[in-house]
Amino acid sequence: MRSCNEPSEEAPVMRKERIILEDGRYLIYYSFVDQKNNTTTSQPDGQGGEGQAEDNN
Amino acid sequence: MSELRWHPILEEWVITATHRQDRTFLPPDDYCPLCPTRSPDYPTEIPAEDYEIVTFENRFPSLQHPPPDPAVRDTELYRVRRAEGICEVVCYTSRHTGTLTDASVEEIRNLVEVWTDRFQELGSKNFVDYVLIFENKGQVIGVTLTHPHGQIYAFPFIPPKIQRELRSASRYMAKRHRCLFCDIINEEITDGRRVVVENNSFVAVVPFFARFPYEVYVFSREHHQTMLTFSKKERRDLAGILKAILLKYDNLWGISMPYMMIMHQAPTDGRNYDHYHYHIEFHPPHRTKDKLKYLAGCETGAGTYINDTLAEEKAAELRRAEPSTLEKTFLEL
């Protein structure tokens, strides 16, 4: 039987990083920072920085 | 080649997109274009070695910005427009296997945040009149990539089904001075037999008028037109109820239930749509574990659906499927 775990109470802060691919299309990485310990649950390679959500483009 | 061709009989646009015939079709797991690029020898659509959620312009779009010129000239009868718009792919996770059902409620909540951001950004473009967020799941739906993902179409017009809903809601509001959708929600809750699951912010039902056996509509209890006015709690609750519905679908027969999930929101053409009401529609094609409902002569040819089942009975089945109670805190958050 499939089931699920409880989520945390605090919503993470969303970060947004836009890049342009070789053929001109855009791609946006979204990552989410846990507000309690200020850590990113997963960080795309080559996409740095911490803090509030920010659209680079 | 891509263009909009006017259907003068139905008075609606048809998108031609001949380049889509060449799109990637069910590649082996080792060559999934939606996985992260883990080896420079095999670059995928996503250059990073890992990601949480990614959205990008579809390599094989039905709508493009800037759009190509139409391949044919229009006539007085046969109007042609450039297929201007944006088609995005939304990868829910870097994990290749599994489905949205396997995502945690936190991950679905993050996806809700991404959907909201995409709706706002795409809807703010002056050539976009409507933003459709949707997911096709399962090969019987026609999915060509199994990696968990959805899509977003930013249309240069309001699609016909949405136009019909807007007209119905507008007429109802003019006649009764109430929201059509709010009245549907109240009637479904009062009756109760077709309610599948609910939490503080959303209610999911197999509606009285269901056209597919296991069709589910998810309505916001509050009268929202789009996700943009959701509170933080409502965004969390949307993740919770989506998780519950997805689990129920998969637990119903112990299979990964195929479906079309479509988010209906107000148009983004700058007009007032206070009479409209946010909702999500699930259209699973299965009528039993082993049988599909096909859109055959009556449905495709006449536009009239024949549902071989009763919504009251199907809702009861889904209610019984786990998670079968509302006591689980993940539904309330």
Cα distance from B301 to chain A (closest Cα, Å)? 38
Count of structural domains, chain A = 1
pLDDT band at B192 (very low <50, low <70, confident <90, very high): very high
Determine, yes or no, domain membership for A1. Answer: no
Of the given ranges (B64-68, B176-180, B325-329), which has the lowest mean pLDDT? B325-329
Nearest C-alpha of chain A: how many angstroms from B45? 9
Q: Which residue range is the domain that position A13 belongs to?
A: 7-42+52-57
Which chain A residue has its CA at the smallest distance from B60's CA?
Answer: A25
pLDDT band at A43 (very low <50, low <70, confident <90, very high): very low
- Which residues of chain A are within 8 Å of residue B232 when distances are taken between CB atoms? 11
Residues of B in contact with A35 (CB under 8 A): none
Per-residue pLDDT at A10: 67
pTM of the full predicted structure? 0.91
Q: Which fold has domain B24-59+85-332?
A: HIT family, subunit A (3.30.428)
Interface test with B, best of A4, A15, A35 (most B CBs within 10 A): A4
Residue B17: closest CA among B30, B34, B4, B2: B2
Q: Which of A1, A21, A26, A28 to mutate to test the interface with B (most CBs of B within 10 A)?
A: A28
Catalytic residue among B19, B147, B149, B286: B149
Q: Which residues of A touch B94 (CB under 8 A)?
A: 42
Q: Is residue A15 part of a domain?
A: yes
CB proximity B48 to A under 8 Å: yes
**pLDDT of B32:** 94
Site from B51, B111, B325 to mutate, A interface, most A CB atoms within 10 angstroms: B51
- Residue-level pLDDT at B259: 98
- Residue A47 clears pLDDT 50, i.e. is over it: no
Q: Do the domain assignments include residue A38?
A: yes
Higher-scoring residue by pLDDT: A34, B136:
B136
Q: Is B332 near chain A, with CB under 8 Å?
A: no
Q: How far is B77 from chain A (nearest CA, A)?
A: 35
| Percent of chain B scoring above 70 in pLDDT | 95
Task: Answer whether residue A2 is part of any domain.
Answer: no
Q: What is the pLDDT of residues B91-123, one digit of tens each?
A: 999 999 999 999 999 999 999 999 999 999 999
Residue A47 domain flag:
no
Q: State residue B25's pLDDT score.
A: 66
Is residue B149 annotated as part of the catalytic site, yes or no? Answer: yes
Whether residue A17 lies inside any domain: the answer is yes
